[in-house]
Chains A and B, each alone.
Chain A
Amino acid sequence: MWSSGRRALQDLMLHQQTAVRSFSLSPAQNTVIVERWWQVPLSKEGRPPRLHPRRHRIYKLVEDTKQAPKQKMELILTATVPKLGVRGDTVFVRKSAGRNKLLPQGLAVYPSPENKHMFEEEIKLLREGKPEERVQTRSGQLTVEILKKSHLNISRMPLEEFQVNKEVVCRQFKKKLGVFVPPHALSLSFESVKEEGDYWCEVTVNGMDIVRVPLSVVPYEDPSAIYQKQLKARIAQAAADAAAAAAEDEEAAVNLVDEAAVKLVSDAPVEEAAVKLVSDAAVEEAAVKLVSDAAVEAETAKDSVGEAAAGVSAAEEEKAASTPTSPDTTAPPSDSPKKD
């Protein structure tokens, strides 16, 4: 057992050793505090008090610190710890957890004035430092990840003075996605819009990273429970109809597609049929969009037909589907597939 304290020190003085930090479990404190039963008579100044060998040795237990409630210890984290926090947080943990896990593994440090000063400097650097030197915080990184995958849908209210501007978008971010975006961190591609469609906006996280979030203004849906129930019933009914109709029209659609492949012009009937099939299977909004898209892009009719056919086959697969499958032909430049 050469690692007992004193011998270890002597060995150390002779030759160097490498060190490994590790702690063990720490149970409650146990310091006994006693007081005398009998008072000791006051002695003259400068002289020690005279103690009776028996009477003044009779003690009464005042406090056993092991009975006291366990206090938590304060530490500053240096790395992200699950359930506790991120780097720079001051947390209160149980003494056992702190001494066994956090401190030996270097995940936290004591809150001494020097350490606190160092972390304050880090925060200051984050706020006021040059853009190259600043490092994104962990919460900032997570926010960026969430924003990359999100898609903001704003319902177009049936009001005359409805318009989508910066404040509206900020509020919608907070309500729909739960992300607080102050107006100065948001930049829109437009001043204000009233029509339905797809747009995009840019969000600056912590003044460092900019994320492009696709934005779409969708037709108004009554959020009340009754209307939603009716809508659901309607969709289910439509899906059931489409299951029957799609089987018959599959052949017809394939034939039409072949014709379109041969003929470069006059895709109107094909498109109409395709549109009809899609609208039977999908939600109204998507159909309207497709019609509008097809109407706008007559040149890329072939593409739209191909997509409509693809849409048809997709709709056939999702017979009871209620999710809209709207191929974004006028898709805004989005970073990644939209959120479900």
Chain B
Amino acid sequence: MPLHKYSPKIWDALKLKQGIYARLPQHYIKSIEPKDPTPVHWRPLGIQYRANPKTGQKERVQDVPVPIFYPPQSQSGLWGGEGWVSGYKYANNDKMSNRLKKVWKPQLLKREFYSEILDHKFTIKVTPRTLDLVDAAFGFDFYILKTSKDDLNSKLGMDLKRAMMLRLLRRDSELYPADPVKREKVYNKYKLQVDIPEGEAEWVGLSLEEAVEKQRQLEHKEPEPLFKVCVEQLVEELHIQKLSEPHVTVKE
């Protein structure tokens, strides 16, 4: 007899189908599904078929990603897709020598970034690869807005993304309250990066627990006092009673 009704491997998926998880918005559930990040520590082949280098015959090939470990501290920094590559290596790169455990870790630097949209200076732990990505995206704000959730791989990054998107969509005087000219310039610069409605932007980058809490807040309503309900019921009954009694009119 099996131990569980459903295999533990599908428990996570099943959990999302019942209770408050089922009432979460659909766009959020789609965003939370894990996708493959862009390969950072390995080179993908990119093609399905190729000619075998030895025999010359056509063969099917597949990309096998290298498993990377993302430690919890990577979520409070912007590591740009890097993580710890842990495995083995052969000493002197020779197959016949010892097999040694090896962990490759990225080089972390504390850098200060200025965000135009949020008008604030952040000190974030980044890797040199992140700095290159920021240059390639022509700015820190562009990098945060353009990179997808799986490539950013950081809770801080997604929180920044959510804050920037909301500030751009809301168009209040939070951004540069004293300088409307600069505000307009910043809006025009980044307006192409936000093309989702504000309702969806509020859910960008929330973890499952945060999303559940947000849904709970939305569905929450104050319990109505029983006194009110009873009073209304009584009023109803009296009204019906009065209508059912025959109306006596005295003729003048």
Q: Which residues of A contact B125 (CB under 8 A)?
A: 5
When each residue 9-35 of chain A gets 1 if its CB lies under 8 Å from chain B and 0 otherwise, what string results? 100110011111111101111111111
Cα–Cα, bound, A332→B77 (Å): 71
Determine if B32 is an interface residue (Cβ-Cβ < 8 Å): no
Q: How far apart are the CA atoms of A82 and B93 in the complex, in Å?
A: 49
Interface residues of B in 65-88 (CB under 8 A from A): 66, 76-77, 82, 85-88
Q: Does A37 count as interface, using CB distance less than 8 angstroms?
A: yes
Q: Is A292's beta carbon under 8 Å from chain B?
A: no
Rounded to whole angstroms, the CA-CA distance of A34 and B155 in the bound complex is 26
Q: Is B99 an interface residue (CB 8 A)?
A: yes
Give chain A residues whose Cβ lies under 8 Å from the Cβ of B156. Answer: 5-6, 9
- Chain A residues with CB under 8 A of B114: 19-21, 104
Q: How far, in whole Å, are A62 and B119 apart by their CA atoms in the complex?
A: 41
A51 touches B64 (CB 8 A): yes
In the bound complex, residues from chain B placing their C-beta under 8 Å from that of A30 are 106-107, 127-128
Contact B123 A8 (CB under 8 A): yes
B 20-45 to A, binary, CB cutoff 8 A, 1 in contact else 0: 00000000000000000000111100
Asked if B89 is at the interface of the complex by the 8 Å CB criterion, the answer is yes
Residues from chain B with a CB closer than 8 A to the CB of A54 are 88
Known contacts A35-B43, A51-B64; A6/B174 CB under 8 A: no
| Chain B residue, CB-CB nearest to A1 | B123
A95 to B189 CA separation, bound complex (whole angstroms): 24
Say yes or no: A42-B60 contact (C-beta < 8 A), given A23-B112, A110-B139.
yes
Q: Is B131 an interface position by the 8 A CB rule?
A: yes
Chain B positions 121-160 with a Cβ under 8 Å from a chain A Cβ: 121-125, 127-129, 131-132, 135, 138-139, 155-156, 159-160
Q: How far is the CA of A12 from the CA of B62 in the complex (A)?
A: 46
Say yes or no: A9-B123 contact (C-beta < 8 A), given A31-B40, A104-B114.
no
Asked if A31 and B82 make an inter-chain contact with CB atoms under 8 angstroms apart, the answer reads yes
Among residues of B, the one whose C-beta sits closest to the C-beta of A2 is B123
Assembled-state Cα–Cα distance A43/B61 (Å): 9
The CA of A95 and the CA of B109, in the complex, are separated in Å by: 15
Q: For B88, what are the chain A residues with a Cβ–Cβ distance below 8 Å?
A: 54, 57-59
Q: How many A-B residue pairs have CB under 8 A?
A: 143
Contact of B99 among A32, A51, A58 (CB under 8 A): A58
Contact A110 B42 (CB under 8 A): no
- Tell me the smallest distance from the CB of B119 to a CB of chain A, in Å: 5
Q: Is the CB of A16 within 8 A of B138?
A: no
Number of A residues, CB within 8 Å of B: 54
Question: Which among A5, A13, A98 is the interface contact of B122 at CB below 8 angstroms?
Answer: A5
**Given the known A-B contacts A26-B109, A104-B114, are A58 and B123 also in contact in the complex, defined by CB atoms under 8 Å?**
no
Q: Say yes or no: is A4 at the interface (Cβ < 8 Å to chain B).
A: yes
* Contact of B93 with A22 in the complex, beta carbons under 8 Å: no
A65 to nearest B CB, angstroms? 8
**How many of chain B's residues touch chain A, expressed as a range?**
35 or more
Q: Distance in Å from the Cβ of B71 to the closest Cβ of chain A?
A: 15
In this complex, what residue of A is CB-closest to B75? A6
Shortest Cβ distance from B93 into A: residue: A60
CB of A73 within 8 A of chain B?
yes
Partner of B76, one of A3, A6, A29, A56: A6
Judge if A230 is at the interface, Cβ distance under 8 Å: no
Min CB distance B112 to A, Å, is 6
Of residues B41, B64, B132, which shows the largest number of chain A Cβ atoms within 10 Å of its Cβ?
B64
CA distance A49 to B67 in the complex (A): 13
A112 at the interface (CB under 8 A from B): yes
- Among B77, B106, B112, which residue has the most Cβ atoms of chain A within 10 A? B112
A61 part of interface (Cβ distance < 8 Å):
yes
Residue ID in chain A nearest B100 by CB atoms: A58
A40 beta carbon closer than 8 Å to chain B: yes
CB distance from A20 to the nearest CB of B (A): 6
| The one of B95, B121, B128, B138 that contacts A31, using a Cβ cutoff of 8 Å | B128
Q: Decide: A12 and B120 in contact? CB cutoff 8 A.
A: yes
CB-based nearest B residue for A43:
B62
For the complex, give the distance between the alpha carbons of A111 and B135 in Å.
10
- The answer to the question of B212 belonging to the interface, with a C-beta cut-off of 8 Å to chain A, is no
Q: Tell me which of B43, B62, B77, B129 contacts A62 (CB under 8 A).
A: B43
Q: Residues of B contacting A29 with CB < 8 Å? A: 128-129, 132
A114 within 8 Å of B (CB atoms): yes
Shortest beta-carbon distance from B98 to chain A in Å: 11
- The contact sample of 19 A-B pairs, CB cut-off 8 A, is A3-B121, A4-B123, A8-B123, A18-B119, A31-B41, A32-B104, A33-B41, A34-B41, A34-B42, A35-B42, A35-B43, A37-B90, A37-B95, A49-B62, A51-B64, A58-B88, A59-B87, A110-B139, A114-B189
Q: A19-B121, A57-B86, A65-B128 are in contact. List 16 more A-B contacts (CB 8 A).
A: A5-B122, A6-B159, A22-B121, A23-B112, A24-B111, A29-B132, A32-B106, A42-B61, A57-B87, A58-B88, A58-B89, A59-B87, A59-B89, A73-B135, A95-B131, A112-B139
